[in-house]
């Protein structure tokens, strides 16, 4: 049975791989896929943080509200970035279904909904959240 630290480490390893996939998608012009993978990266990062604190999270794609509930337990440098983390998570969570399925009502495929600037913004979110999660993990294991 794995410890919470080991689970957090595994989530962060998956987040690293996922952001690499997002970069490849962005470079190849698959902007909807870049957004999708960036969202997965952010989700894995936040779930890693919650695991470090020994918390069970809801089986949902946006768990940022749980970070707000434990803000008094987080290091000050992370609390200072919490608004950004919540923005990243909620924004990308809202793009989850469209990045997979497009707009099924209007019959618009995902690849037509997302532009390069959407993918770049998603990558910025994911990169910054991943760095924050890595920093917390490094401090946790010291």
Q: Tens digit of pLDDT for each residue in 36-79?
A: 999 999 999 999 999 999 998 878 788 999 999 999 999 999 99
pLDDT mean over 101-111: 90
Asked whether the predicted pLDDT for residue 133 surpasses 90, the reply is yes
- Give helix 31-52 / helix 82-94 axis angle, nearest 10°: 130
Beta bridge partner(s), residue 108:
103
Dihedral sign from CA coordinates of 20, 26, 32, 38: positive
The domain 4-141 is placed in CATH, from the list 3.40.50.300, 1.10.3290.10, 3.40.50.9100, 1.20.120.330, at 1.20.120.330
Cα 136 to Cα 48: distance, rounded to the nearest angstrom = 10
Backbone region of residue 29 per phi and psi (left: phi > 0; alpha: psi in -120 to 50; beta: other values): left
Q: Tens digit of pLDDT for each residue in 8-41?
A: 999 999 999 999 999 999 999 999 999 999 999 9
Per-residue confidence band for 1, with pLDDT thresholds at 50, 70 and 90? low
Contact at 8 Å (CB) between 125 and 36?
no
Q: What pLDDT does 44 receive?
A: 97
pLDDT mean over 105-115: 92
Q: pTM here?
A: 0.95
């Amino acid at each position: 049975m794995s410890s919470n630290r080991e689970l957090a480490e595994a989530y962060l390893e998956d987040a690293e791989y996922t952001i690499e996939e997002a970069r490849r998608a962005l470079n190849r012009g698959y902007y909807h896929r870049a957004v999708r993978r960036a969202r997965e990266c952010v989700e894995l990062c936040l779930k890693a943080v919650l695991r470090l604190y020994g918390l069970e999270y809801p089986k949902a794609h946006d768990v940022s509200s749980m970070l707000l509930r434990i803000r008094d337990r987080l290091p000050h440098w992370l609390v200072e970035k919490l608004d950004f983390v919540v923005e990243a998570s909620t924004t990308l969570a809202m793009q989850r279904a469209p990045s997979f399925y497009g707009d099924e009502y209007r019959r618009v495929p995902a690849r037509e909904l997302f532009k390069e600037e959407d993918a770049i913004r998603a990558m910025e979110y994911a990169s910054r959240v991943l760095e924050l999660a890595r920093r917390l993990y490094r401090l946790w294991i010291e």
